Amino acid sequence: MKWISLFLLFAVSFALTVDVQPGYVRLPVNTTQTFQIRLGSGEGKVYTLEAFGPYLSWNIQDVWVGPSGKILSVSFSPEEPGTYTLSFRAGGESGSVTAVVYEEKKPTDIKDAIERFRKKVSTPAEKEKLLEIESLYNDSKYDLARIRISELDAMLKREAPESSVLPRVLILTALVALAVFLTKMLT
């Protein structure tokens, strides 16, 4: 009986295992996610690893797996939104991963700010900052784009008081002239 237990323990230690990491992902369309496939405790022979699912970088590979195991990578680059189950099988064992792919919507507040700033910018530094904001927006780096928008807004507000001094002086002069006129009329 002791020999049978030892034999079963020995046989299980060389059983192939298939593990896929991460087991669940959520990603936008037209991005790439890399999965690690861990083949563990092989018998020291070549296994055929099959990958099932769309948008994978490969579908079948022959891999030598020894007692220490083997780690492989596969890229998933979806072009359509949806929920995908990707399965990997080798030597009768399998592992799978679920990928939820969504259509990324660009925030309209950043787009509106870019349109608004196009009418306001005049200096080369402001134009350069606006180009940087547009680049960040196109690269889907929305948080950085919002930070640059606040910086550009601060740049424009610093320049605004210098240009608005003349109208304020004219309005103040007109009010003083009106006050003088009204006091002359009353006396």
Within its chain, how far is the Cα of 169 from the centroid?
Answer: 50
Kindly report, residue by residue over 17-31, the tens digit of the pLDDT: 899 999 999 998 989
Q: Answer whether the bond into residue 81 is a cis peptide, omega within 30°.
A: no
Q: Which two tokens mark 109?
A: 């507040």
Give me 91's structure tokens.
């030597």
Exposure b/e, 162-178, CB count within 10 A at least 16 = b: eeeeeeeeeeeeeeeee
Residue 170 domain-assigned?
Answer: yes
Give the model's confidence band at 2: pLDDT under 50 very low, under 70 low, under 90 confident, else very high: low
Beta bridge partners of 35: 74
Same domain, 98 and 7: yes
How far is it, in rounded angstroms, from Cα 50 to Cα 133? 44
Residues 130, 61, single domain; the answer is no
Kindly state the average pLDDT of the residues 47-75. 93
DSSP E strand stretches across the chain: 17-21, 24-28, 33-40, 45-52, 60-65, 70-76, 82-90, 93-102
pLDDT of residue 50: 95
Is residue 68 domain-shared with residue 137, that is, in the same domain?
Answer: no
Position 53 confidence tier, pLDDT thresholds 50, 70, 90: very high
Q: Mark whether 76 and 136 lie in a shared domain.
A: no
- For the cut 90, the answer to whether the pLDDT of residue 87 exceeds it is yes
> What is the pLDDT at residue 9?
47
Report the largest interatomic distance among the alpha carbons of the chain, rounded to a whole angstrom: 126
Which is more confident, 160 or 182? 182
Phi and psi based region of residue 113 (left: phi greater than 0; alpha: psi -120 to 50; beta: remaining): alpha
Beginning with the edge strand found earlier in the chain, give each strand of the sheet holding 93-102 in spatial order.
24-28, 93-102, 82-90, 45-52, 60-65
**127, 79: one domain:** no
Same domain, residue pair 85 and 36: yes
Percent of the chain at pLDDT > 90 equals 44
Domain count, the chain: 2
Query: Tell me, what CATH number does 74's domain have?
Result: 2.60.40.10
Whether the predicted pLDDT of 15 surpasses 80:
no
One domain for residues 74 and 10: yes
Residue 88 confidence (pLDDT): 96
The answer to pTM > 0.85 is: no
Domain enclosing residue 19, as ranges: 2-102
Give me the half-sphere count of Cα atoms (radius 13 Å) on the Cβ side of residue 68: 0
Residue 187 inside a domain? The answer is no
Residue range 40-64: average pLDDT? Answer: 91
Confidence of residue 98 (pLDDT cuts 50, 70, 90): very high
Residue 7 confidence class, pLDDT cut points 50, 70, 90? very low
Indicate whether 186 belongs to any domain: no
Return d(Cα 95, Cα 181) in angstroms, integer: 91
| Inside any domain, residue 144 | yes
Is 77 in the same domain as 21? yes
